[in-house]
Chain A
Amino acid sequence: MKLIKPSSKRKLKMLPYYFLLPPIIFLAVIVVYPLIFSLKLALFDWNLINLREREFVGLGNFLRLITDGSFWNSVRVTFTYAALATSIEFFLGLLLALIASQELKGIRFLRTLLLVPMMVAPLVVGLMWRYLLNANYGVINYFIKHFLRIIPPEWLSHPSWALPTLIFVDVWQWTPFMFIILLAGIQSLPKYPSEAAQIDGAKGYQILWHITLPLLRPVILVALLLRLIDSFRVYDLVYSMTRGGPINKTETLSWYIYQVGFKFFDFGYAAALSWVMLGITMVMCSQLFRVISRGTKEQ
């Protein structure tokens, strides 16, 4: 290092900061400024009726959402969706990953095939399943009618079936994601703890419960966190499959904010809702983060 000229040493000191400027300025302009603008917006009543003038209402928009039944409905729908989709994806993904981590012939090829669903645009996935689940000409309903001999419900327009159907489609698209992350995690685990346990006479499920899963904990939490964040913001599937219906049964937070902002042009209220959603997301993630960092330190 002593061969470096003093002038270039000084330059070196500043150089990384010059490099950081463009990304920081970019993020300030594209994220930080809009978020601050949105917070300001949340304090005003600004909608289609008085587009010209914004009326300052202080925390009025936030008070309004406390008594807004549609808002609470969308919170409930979003949590139900995110919690069920993420946990079903986790259990199915883990099951498949445990099976696929054995030494099986052709496993690489099979594993590659399993990756396909998550690469299809969610909007296309939604349209695809709407076709497959159609009551008159959907192939899934045909199978159900002819092999199970029961009459399937109208999946997307039945009030109690619409949300489970949406969750099912999320599970179809993202179980492969859980699978591939958990599989990568299992394969990177050291072999000797489970081998030692096997020699000591531990049974398969005991090894799984006492050795594999604890070692896999950080990976499991990252996978859960990523799926939770993404299922919590679901919009594309709602747009292409149910548009929030029937009777608000699939109205997620993202969809509700979209309606308030871009159908009713109630921008002030949409901004307030956005900040609440951001708050919920941040609290949820920081809690999970804490669990993750604790888990990683234990290792």
Chain B
Amino acid sequence: MKRTKHYVKLPSYVVLIVAILFFIFPIYWAVATSFKEAKLAFSESPVWLFKTRFENYKVVIFERNLPRFLINSVIVTLLSTLLTLALGVCVGYSIAIRKIKGGNQIASWILSLRMVPPIVTAVPIYLIARRLNLLDTHLVLILVYAFMNLPVASWLIKSYFEDIPLELEEAAIVDGCTYSQALVKIILPLASPGIAATGVICAIFAWNEFLYANILTGNVANTAPVALTAYATPVGILWGEIFAAGSLIMLPVIVAGLALQRYLVRGLTLGALKE
């Protein structure tokens, strides 16, 4: 019995290792290139061993103003995530805790907005924002990202709220709490791990978003991914700098994502599988 198992397991490991090399190697190569001397990025045969240099990072940080765009990304990501969570809690509370009539239809309608392709709303939102002088502001991206994330967030918060035993709320009411107080003091603390995980998922989506940011910002409120597109100049593509900036954009997300991978799966599947 044991021997046959070994036969099955060896090919399994081989397939998995090959798959992981395939999925990880490009990222390794991009990050490694960011630490190479600029001209090594154009070397015809791959350079495996190199002296670690930080020139590319110095250039993107001090000459290309990347910190400014990263700060834009942080502002937009943070505020849109907070807005999404606040609205998501409102949806979750009335539908999962108070179980209002027609709640499930409203929840389904909100979830169905997840299907609207971004380019479809981008055209009218661009024109409306232009008329309201909101183009190239943080506000317009904050609002749009809150919309983008709200379907998934409400669905997730709803599912976390459904796991809360309502006897605890009732007890608090009996002790003299109002319903709003019970929400703040009992329900939110109980759901806080779930809400925090939802926040991280929304933040990842907002941080990585490019289409709306590209269309709705110009040169003031540009997020980091939009700023990155300027590195492909007519003269040539500055690979070292692109990957230095790219690493600064992707590494915080990878760290956060890996730390919360368990929640990430639930979020990505809209809580369809309660893992």
Using CB atoms and an 8 Å cutoff, list the residues of chain A in contact with chain B. 1, 3-4, 8, 11-12, 15-17, 19-20, 22-24, 26-27, 30-31, 33-35, 37-38, 41, 95-96, 99-100, 102, 104, 110, 112-117, 119-124, 127-132, 136-137, 139, 142, 172, 175-177, 180-181, 184-185, 188, 218-219, 222-223, 226, 229, 232-233, 235-236, 239-240, 253-254, 257-258, 261-262, 267, 270-271, 274-275, 277-278, 281-282, 285
Cβ contact within 8 Å between B228 and A137 = no
Q: Which of B119, B121, B128, B228 contacts A124 (CB 8 A)?
A: B228
Q: Which of A38, A122, A235, A270 contacts B208 (CB 8 A)?
A: A122
Task: Take A26-B147, A181-B268, A277-B117 as given contacts and tell me if A127 and B246 are in contact as well, using a CB distance cutoff of 8 Å.
Answer: yes
Cβ contact within 8 Å between B254 and A123 = no
Q: Which of B12-20, B51-59, B60-68 forms contacts with chain A?
A: B12-20
Name which of A37, A95, A274 has the most chain B CB atoms within 10 A of its CB. A274
Check: B156 CB closer than 8 A to any chain A CB.
Answer: no
Q: Which of A129, A136, A176, A278 contacts B120 (CB 8 A)?
A: A278
Check: B197 CB closer than 8 A to any chain A CB.
Answer: no
B residues within 8 A CB of A137?
41-44
Task: Take A27-B110, A185-B273 as given contacts and tell me if A121 and B207 are in contact as well, using a CB distance cutoff of 8 Å.
Answer: yes
**Within the assembled complex, what's the spacing in Å between the Cα atoms of A172 and B173?**
52
Task: Take A16-B98, A110-B16 as given contacts and tell me if A180 and B265 are in contact as well, using a CB distance cutoff of 8 Å.
Answer: yes
Q: Which of B20, B143, B268 contacts A30 (CB 8 A)?
A: B143
Cβ contact within 8 Å between B91 and A20 = yes
Cβ contact within 8 Å between B45 and A142 = yes
A residues within 8 A CB of B115?
229, 281-282, 285
Task: Take A22-B87, A120-B253, A131-B33 as given contacts and tell me if A38 and B207 are in contact as well, using a CB distance cutoff of 8 Å.
Answer: no
7 pairs from A and B in contact (CB 8 Å cutoff): A23-B88, A102-B12, A116-B258, A124-B30, A142-B46, A180-B265, A218-B272
Check: B9 CB closer than 8 A to any chain A CB.
Answer: yes
B residues within 8 A CB of A129?
26
Check: B192 CB closer than 8 A to any chain A CB.
Answer: no
Task: Take A37-B127, A124-B250, A128-B246 as given contacts and tell me if A22 and B90 are in contact as well, using a CB distance cutoff of 8 Å.
Answer: yes
- B219-259 CB mask vs A (1 if < 8 Å, else 0) is 00000010011001000010100110010011001100110
Cβ contact within 8 Å between B123 and A184 = no
| B interface size (C-beta, 8 A) | 96
Known: A37-B127, A181-B265, A267-B127. 17 other contacts (CB 8 A): A8-B178, A15-B179, A16-B95, A38-B121, A112-B261, A115-B257, A117-B23, A120-B254, A124-B250, A127-B228, A172-B23, A177-B268, A222-B273, A233-B118, A235-B119, A258-B122, A278-B117
Cβ contact within 8 Å between A23 and B87 = yes
Cβ contact within 8 Å between B246 and A124 = yes
Cβ contact within 8 Å between A119 and B257 = yes
Closest Cβ neighbor of B31 among chain A residues: A128
**Within the assembled complex, what's the spacing in Å between the Cα atoms of A175 and B23?**
9
B residues within 8 A CB of A222?
269-270, 272-273
A residues within 8 A CB of B270?
222, 226
Q: Which of A1, A102, A123, A253 contacts B210 (CB 8 A)?
A: A123
Minimum C-beta distance from B248 to chain A (A): 10
Minimum C-beta distance from A197 to chain B (A): 18
